[in-house]
């Protein structure tokens, strides 16, 4: 397995956008005790908040300018590399804003040192892969593709939602994603 280090980014500012918590009571109103075998139930309002809240991390990604995002991790050895982390550097070279195809071609070289960061900048992971390391088993995707996919999901949710507050938040999230996608398309890429 490769070597890795995890550190908190001292320059990052906490955003605290995580939304949605499980209820702490059973259906009968009694408190849920740890280990009592009862699943915690969610109130309908909390489910809606959690649904809207699941977009927060993607909105943080929309604020980012890194082009390469971890879409999926199928490598148990790399459990510390999470979905939606961005690729910041390869072998000490900043690749955050380089075109997708260029960065992907660099990922095939060995030995390889890759720095990943959470989209909120709170966590940085540096991973080293030796000369004989095989496939990384990470699905890397273009940030704009993820944002477009999320934009489609939010649009569907907006059409299906009946609550005014939820619709208002969805419209705000859609506007943020839309602006980020437009900015990414306007940004010049070095070829």
Q: How far apart are CA 100 and CA 143, in angstroms?
A: 9
Distances (CA, A) of 62 to 56, 84, 120, 124, 186: 10, 11, 10, 18, 14
pLDDT at 72: 92
pLDDT at 146: 87
pLDDT at 35: 46
Is the separation of the CB atoms in 68 and 142 below 8 Å?
Answer: yes
Q: How far apart are CA 63 and CA 112, in angstroms?
A: 28
pLDDT at 16: 32
Looking only at the bridges linking them, the beta strands covering 123-129 and 112-117 are: antiparallel
Inter-residue long-range contacts of 187-191, CB under 8 Å, 24+ positions, other chains counted: 187/65, 187/97, 189/98, 189/99, 190/98, 190/99, 191/99, 191/102
Burial group, residue 85, by CB count within 10 angstroms (0-12, 13-18, 19+): buried
Within the chain, which residues score under 50 in pLDDT? 5-40, 52-53, 190-191
Task: Tally Cβ neighbours within 10 Å of residue 48.
Answer: 18
Distances (CA, A) of 155 to 18, 46, 179: 21, 20, 15
- Could you report the per-residue pLDDT of 107-141, keeping only the tens digit for each? 999 999 999 999 888 899 999 999 999 999 999 99
Instruction: Mention every residue, 6+ apart, whose C-beta is less than 8 A from residue 182.
Output: none
pLDDT at 62: 80
pLDDT at 27: 35
Read off the pTM.
0.65
């Amino acid at each position: 397995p490769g070597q890795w280090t995890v550190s908190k980014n001292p320059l990052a500012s906490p955003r605290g956008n995580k939304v949605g918590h499980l209820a702490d009571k059973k259906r009968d109103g009694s408190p849920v005790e740890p280990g009592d075998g009862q699943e915690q139930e969610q109130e309908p309002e909390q489910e809606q908040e959690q649904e809207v809240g699941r977009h927060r991390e993607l909105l943080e990604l929309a604020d980012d300018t890194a082009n390469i995002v971890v879409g999926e991790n199928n490598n148990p050895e790399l459990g510390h590399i999470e979905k939606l982390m961005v690729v910041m550097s390869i072998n000490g070279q900043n690749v955050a804003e380089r075109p997708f195809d260029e960065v992907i071609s660099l990922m095939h070289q060995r030995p390889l040192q890759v720095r990943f960061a959470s989209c909120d900048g709170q966590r940085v992971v540096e991973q080293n892969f030796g000369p004989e390391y095989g496939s990384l088993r990470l699905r890397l995707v273009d940030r704009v593709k993820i944002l477009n996919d999320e934009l489609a999901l939010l649009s569907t949710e907006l059409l299906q939602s009946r609550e005014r507050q939820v619709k208002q938040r969805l419209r705000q999230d859609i506007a943020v994603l839309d602006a980020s996608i437009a900015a990414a398309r306007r940004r010049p890429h070095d070829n």
